[in-house]
Structure 1
Amino acid sequence: MNTSDHPDSSPLLEDFPYRLTDNVRFADLDPNQHVNNAVYATYFETGRVTLMKDRSFGLMPQGLAWIMVRLDIHFRAELKWPGTIEMGLGVSKFGRTSVTFDQVVFSQGRCMASSQSVSVLIDDATRRPTALTDEIKQNFERWWRRGFRDI
């Protein structure tokens, strides 16, 4: 069983091959003066979209698009402003038409939140799910989360 299966175990940033750094914004705060829970979905979206939309990685072929169908977030600690965050992303599973991503938000060396999301590949014209090709799977090869493999 992987550590991601245990909600109380803290992920390690080095297990996530795709990384981005961002700032905590004052606008991210709620009346409790910590980052609002809904903002984490935006942090995780930033990581996924930045990876997927970079045409140089070959993860979004012409005529196809990705839509997210599931997002589970585990809130681990309060995140405050001001500060910076480091976001990590790794692939943890392939389905016939989908990719599962594990993601984390770290601040000052501590995991503040983790998530798992599922994105489905669809045809732009029909808006129907389409099977992952071997080429798309190969293009994801470098983004596997350490300890996971589903090829």
Structure 2
Amino acid sequence: MNAPLPPNAEPCLEDFPFRVSDNVRFGDLDPNHHVNNAVYATYFETGRVALMKDRSYGLLPPGLGWMMVRLDMHFRAELRWPGQIELGLGVARLGRTSVTFDQVVFSDGRCVASAQAVTVLIDEKTRKPTPLTAEIVENLQPWLRRGIVVTEPGL
């Protein structure tokens, strides 16, 4: 198993092959006038969903779905409005039924938050975990995070 991105390591956006741009919204702010900590979960979700739910990437075969089972976030710097953010995502680990992603939020060239998210492939009828298909594993290859070795599960 690969270790999560260490909290003190400074991530490099180029290590995350899947990227989505977004805006900081005024409604994202808390009374301290910076982005509320809970909003980061939404930013990370935006990155994952943009990849996983886009059928053109081949990661959502009929009858299967993805369920979030874990999200570990690390807040690195304040983020304020107005502003634009760059969301980066890279596959960090492939399990038998799960995919672990390393994710980052960048603003003005600086990483303001990082996370590790674990999603499990489920059968939509039984709602039970199901093994990753060879097709899904193949279709995840372009999104492997640079700088780490991702081993494939036994299929």
TM-score, normalized by length of structure 1? 0.96
Alignment of 1:1-151 (within 5 A): 4-148=4-148, 149-151=150-152
SS state at 1:66 partner: strand
Equivalences, count: 150
Structure 2 CA distance for aligned equivalents of residues 5 and 47 of structure 1: 17
SS state at 1:147 partner: coil
* RMSD of equivalent CA atoms: 1.2
Give me the identity figure in percent.
69
Letter in 2 for 1:14: E
Letter in 2 for 1:56: S
Structure 1 CA distance for aligned equivalents of residues 140 and 28 of structure 2: 31
How far did 1:71 drift? 0.1
Letter in 2 for 1:136: I
Kept in 2, the 8 Å contact 1:3–1:11? The answer is no
SS state at 1:139 partner: helix
TM-score, normalized by length of structure 2? 0.94
Letter in 1 for 2:151: D
SS state at 2:44 partner: helix
Pair 1:54–1:7, CA change in 2 (3 A) = same
Comparing 48-57 with 3-12, greater Cα deviation is found at 3-12
Q: Deviations over 1:111-135 (max 9, x none)?
A: 0000000000000000000000111
Kept in 1, the 8 Å contact 2:77–2:112? The answer is yes
How far did 1:5 drift? 4.2
Listed as ranges, the gaps of 5+ residues in structure 2 are none
Moved over 4 A (4+): 2-5
Q: Deviations over 1:46-69 (max 9, x none)?
A: 000010011010001000000000
SS state at 1:77 partner: coil
Structure 2 CA distance for aligned equivalents of residues 70 and 9 of structure 1: 21
Structure 1 CA distance for aligned equivalents of residues 126 and 44 of structure 2: 27
Structure 2 CA distance for aligned equivalents of residues 68 and 89 of structure 1: 15
Kept in 2, the 8 Å contact 1:26–1:82? The answer is yes
